[in-house]
Amino acid sequence: MVSAKIQKWCAWGGVANMTVYCIGMLFAHFLPVPSPALSADQVAAMFQENTTGIRIGSIFMLASGFFLVPLIGLISAFMKRIEGDMPVMAYGQLAAGALGILFFYVPAVIFFVMAFRPERSPELILLFYDFTWMVMIVAWPSFVFQQGCIALAIFSDKSAQPIFPRWLGFFQLWTALLYCGSFLLPFFKTGPFAWNGLFAFWIPGIVFYIWGFVMAFMLVKAVDQQRT
């Protein structure tokens, strides 16, 4: 059996993921997030003037996805205990979480490509710039499904001592709802629904960070409970 200490380290994967990702964003000068309304020449200049920073930042952004792997595994293990012989929600969460990790890997790799030859034509850089940010921001369906699976598993726990409290299930649903502000992203280049806006980026990003902390505390508590 995996030791409780290792399980607790796994529980903090979401916090580690967002912390490392934010470090990468800072190196790349992507915080605050550049506007989708920038011209091709402005975007090209961004990559030419901070080539090294974007390359370093992309490494951190790429590495951040690693920390979600143990977290997703730990959540699935506890969900499987709740569901028993037919852990449908546990497997659903596992699949959705694995898909979500790609939204950390793929944009980082594309930023690598863009910063590898920043002398490319501004129009080509702009194309990849738009594609990368859209891939990054519209990751909400996988996370919505993931947290929906967690919520359903929590609500289905009818044991005398549930692994997770019911309020955590409602918390999953609220966070999933708050991610959905990004679905209008393709229609806006400015304002709160643009990829650098309040509803498309800041609220989902902050909520995901909060979700990581809440899940860390509750998973650590669950690890301690299983030892008693």
DSSP state of 35: P
Confidence of residue 228 (pLDDT cuts 50, 70, 90): low
pLDDT per residue as tens digits for the range 112-141? 999 999 999 999 999 999 999 998 888 788
In-domain check, residue 115 = yes
| Rounded average pLDDT over 139-161 | 90
Count of domains observed in the chain: 1
What are the angstrom distances between the C-alpha of 19 and each of 32, 33, 64?
A: 15, 16, 8
In-domain check, residue 226 = no
Give the structural domain span for 182: 4-219
In-domain check, residue 194 = yes
pLDDT per residue as tens digits for the range 95-115? 999 998 998 999 999 999 999
Give 33-37's long-range contacts (Cβ < 8 A, gap of 24+). 33/133, 33/195, 33/196, 33/201, 34/196, 35/189, 35/190, 35/194, 35/196, 36/130, 36/133, 36/188, 36/189, 36/190, 36/194, 36/195, 36/196, 37/189, 37/190, 37/194
In-domain check, residue 135 = yes
In-domain check, residue 183 = yes
Q: What is the pLDDT of residue 227?
A: 60
The chain-wide mean pLDDT, for the chain, equals: 92
In-domain check, residue 46 = yes
Higher model confidence: residue 137 or residue 56?
A: 56
Structure tokens at 222: 């669950």
pLDDT of residue 206 exceeding 90, the answer is yes
